[in-house]
Amino acid sequence: MDFGHDERTRELCEQLQSFMDSHIYPAEPVYHEQAIKAAQEGDPWRRPAVVAELKTAARERGLWNLFLPKHSGGAGLTNLQYAALAPEALNCAAPDTGNMEVLAEFGSPEQQDRWLKPLLDGAIRSAFCMTEPDVASSDASNIATRIQRDGDSYVINGTKWWSSGAMDPACEILIVMGKTDPDADRHRQQSMILVPRDTPGISIRRGMHLFGYDDAPHGGHAEVRFADVRVPASNLIDEEGSGFAIAQARLGPGRIHHCMRLIGAAERALELLCKRVTSRTAFGRPLAEQGVIQDWIAESRVRIEQARLLVLKTAWLMDTVGNKGAHTEIQAIKVATPAMAEWVIDKAIQAHGAGGVSQDFPLAHMWAAARSLRFADGPDEVHKRSLARRELRRYT
């Protein structure tokens, strides 16, 4: 296995680090000020203007769409190369990345021209509608939303929630997963279809709260009702019955992207922890000299590096043997990385005391995001069940 950074990745990492120092970190307080102002003005879902400025600056530097192959409009990086490069300002934010990958791999030329191109340009945003409130959505065969053919159209009925990005005013397209044939084979019942957000019959009921956070500036997590929503049959992605396979293809890269971001969050939390304990004194000496604090720091570094190496191995396998060949590792990182990040961020919160759970530091929100990823894109228990079964096959 060889997953060291090549020359291009090192160059991109240097460019990205310079961009983070010169643009991203200084923009953080501006972002929060603009988000607060938008909420006070009754428009909490309005994207802070500084994000558009950052995207323009990133694009000027060639730090744009790094996750897609060149023939799809991306930078042509491998998963291994992309593993270190994923901030939102680079047009690399969920759920748009996954939706762009779906359109790039399964979309028709007309669908790509209408929806993929503006997404690649960062001109619009999108949402992915899969999870439902009334069924255990971790089992995709439970999905109850119906997508029924009616002449040259499909009619959609059902309720989705946790549709990330759907609250954003810039969201113009929803990718909806539902059942086209409930009597088909268990994994051939589902299909995916493109639904413009302004289609009659769609009602955005509310934005869900994540541990009290509405995630407003990021586009939120909407509950969406589809009542006799009619779209052209040409909006179906790929063919009827391919929804489950498309979801699996989407979730593989999506899961590794989440883990990449989580490692970055854990690194940021450890940095904040170290800065805090070297600047605070308790019981007559700096917090950094307390044995328990040093244990947290050492353990954090060990856990981060373990997760990083597993994620890099997974990216390398995805590039060399494909997502199916990397299935075990994709599931393993999905279990290990959120738990690692949650632990490291928790220790950073503890070191900050009351400040750690306040709005003065990003740690509380980071912890909430890490905790939620222990069930988003498949709960730990489902991944562990699959991992255990695969391991047991060698003995049965």
Strand boundaries in the chain, DSSP class E: 125-129, 146-150, 153-164, 171-179, 190-196, 202-207, 221-232, 281-282, 285-286
Kindly report, residue by residue over 294-303, the tens digit of the pLDDT: 999 999 999 9
Kindly report, residue by residue over 323-358, the tens digit of the pLDDT: 889 999 999 999 999 999 999 999 999 999 999 999
pLDDT in the model for residue 141 = 84
Kindly report, residue by residue over 87-117, the tens digit of the pLDDT: 678 888 888 988 999 999 999 999 999 999 9
pLDDT in the model for residue 251 = 72
pLDDT in the model for residue 66 = 85
| Residue type at position 96 | D
122 touches 111 (CB < 8 A) = no
Name residues whose C-beta falls within 8 Å of residue 309's C-beta, 6 or more positions apart in sequence. Answer: none
Kindly report, residue by residue over 227-245, the tens digit of the pLDDT: 999 999 999 999 999 999 9
pLDDT in the model for residue 190 = 96
Name residues whose C-beta falls within 8 Å of residue 289's C-beta, 6 or more positions apart in sequence. Answer: none
pTM for the whole structure: 0.90
pLDDT in the model for residue 132 = 96
pLDDT in the model for residue 75 = 79
The span from the CA of 22 to the CA of 258, in Å, is 25
The span from the CA of 135 to the CA of 133, in Å, is 6
Summary mean pLDDT of the chain = 92
Is 261 a residue whose pLDDT tops 70? yes
The span from the CA of 367 to the CA of 345, in Å, is 6
> Please, which pLDDT band fits residue 71 given cuts at 50, 70 and 90?
low
Mean pLDDT of the 23-48 span: 91
